[in-house]
Amino acid sequence: MSLLVVGLSHRSAPVSVLERASLAADTQAKLLQDTLAAEPATEAAVLATCNRIELYADVDKFHAGVAELSTLLAQHSGVGLEELTPYLYVHYEDRAVHHLFSVACGLDSMVVGEGQILGQIKDALARGQELHTAGRLLNDLFQQALRVGKRAHSETGIDRAGQSLVSFGLQQLAAGADPALWAGGKRALVIGAGSMSSLAAATLARTGVAEIVVANRTRARADRLVEILQQGDDTAVRARAVEMSAVGDELTRADIVVSCTGSTGLVLTADALADALGVTLDAAPEAPAATAVAPAPDDVDQHAAWVENGSAASAAHAGPATPRRVTVPAQSTGPVRLALLDLAMPRDIDGAAHRIAGVRLVDIESLADASADAPMAADVDRVRTIVSDEVAAFGAAQRAAHVAPTVVALRTMAADVVAGEIARLDGRLPDLDEKQRAEITQTVRRVVDKLLHAPTVRVKQLASEPGGAGYADALRELFDLDPQTVAAVSRADLNDPNRGRS
């Protein structure tokens, strides 16, 4: 079996496609179940964020796996396969491991170095474990990805290369001013109470806003977030929760709005925003759109977020190789009365809000364009080195693990042979006392252990090297091991309830 990932992200697809391809939680669960039901896959995990949708699987056939996973992504996203295919990327075996480790370190994020992705990877693993779609390979892979990401953040200054999407968005709203000075004393409305909204609320509180109002469809979750904000020792922000039905009234009092919900439709329309500001949308001046060029997916010199995508041999499909043009509507002129940050995918806030006088809107698409100007950091190279080293170590560990059941089966067979011979000795020499019998048994076992020690240690070393998978087969053939015994050891390891959990 081999690791395969098929997906699309902000690097390979325009925001409009990502919005349409976004997967709700129940859809992700159905995708995982259908992937396991497909013939080529035995394990599956899905990593779905506002910037990426990736399906990981352990498959026995590469081409059949690519075709099946691509088809399943199209079916569950609702975007036709022919339309989706040009934006898909494919990574296989070590390249797939390299990709996930890079993602975990923030190298593949829209804002390089952001740490929010670690929580999303953890959620993806938990979902796969809960649905029993993540087996030994994906448990090991995602657990190691989390460790690699934490190592990158603790051993390097990758955090200095960028910030979380929330912090970066607030910087864009501040338009060059110090976010703390810009936001100080303002009133903020946070729509949603999930992980990203909670991060936004906490960031706003640290930035110095005077009040945070949380609106969520489930009032209990909004109340819980407010409770957490009020318990913070490092902030003195006022916080309260409201029903979603009160959002219209709260808009008339808010200075900053951050929205990140799982809604498939708009949460804030342009008309609702115009009403809150007391202006007429149709009469608002519309500035011409400005066209910006985002870096090509493989142009690492322009920005670290567009990291190396791997060789052509590792990808069956690749995104457009030429620079992708991103249309960013120009902001209305005049003083800003309402600053909007839309972190949802698909978007929560109507893009036509750009046309409303007194409104500044920053969304995923404009963040993608702005992040192209973020500085490269020397720490990015250090993180890439960590990723490369960890990929090599993970591959070696997986190859060594592949031979381990064979070694266990060999030692089990040897123990059975020793037990059989000792039983035969008891029949031939029934007068042996216990001390003599124990000494003979120990001697035979030592002889067998010494004979097996060198080949078993060496086969583990050889198996950990690239191309070493065949040594397990050779060992089984040389010692005429029962394949069923080896398979039984593998199943016992796979079903260990303590495996893959931290």
Question: Catalytic amino acids?
Answer: 50
Helix axes 378-428, 483-494, angle to 10 degrees: 130
**Are 170 and 257 spatial neighbours (Cβ–Cβ below 8 Å)?**
no
Helix axes 116-130, 25-37, angle to 10 degrees: 50
User: Token pair of 428, please?
Assistant: 């031939």
Run of H or E residues at 240: strand 238-242
How far apart are alpha carbons 95 and 91 in whole angstroms?
A: 5
User: Token pair of 26, please?
Assistant: 């129940």
What burial letters (b/e) apply to 232-259, b meaning 16+ CB within 10 Å?
Answer: eeebebebebbebeebeebbeebbbbbb
Q: How many CA atoms lie within 13 A of 197 on its CB side?
A: 27
Q: How many residues does the chain have?
A: 502
The 238-242 sheet, strands edge to edge: 238-242, 211-215, 187-191, 256-259, 338-342, 359-362
Look up residue 95 and give its DSSP letter: H
Run of H or E residues at 94: helix 94-104
**Are 243 and 218 spatial neighbours (Cβ–Cβ below 8 Å)?**
no
The H helix count followed by the E strand count for the chain is 18, 12
How far apart are alpha carbons 57 and 66 in whole angstroms?
A: 10
> Position of tokens 């916080």?
239
Look up residue 282 and give its DSSP letter: G
Phi, psi (deg, nearest 5) at residue 305: -70, -25
**Are 409 and 148 spatial neighbours (Cβ–Cβ below 8 Å)?**
no
**Are 260 and 367 spatial neighbours (Cβ–Cβ below 8 Å)?**
no
Q: How many CB atoms lie within 10 A of CB 417?
A: 12
Rg (CA), the chain: 28
Residue 44 three-state SS: strand
User: Token pair of 306, please?
Assistant: 């567009």
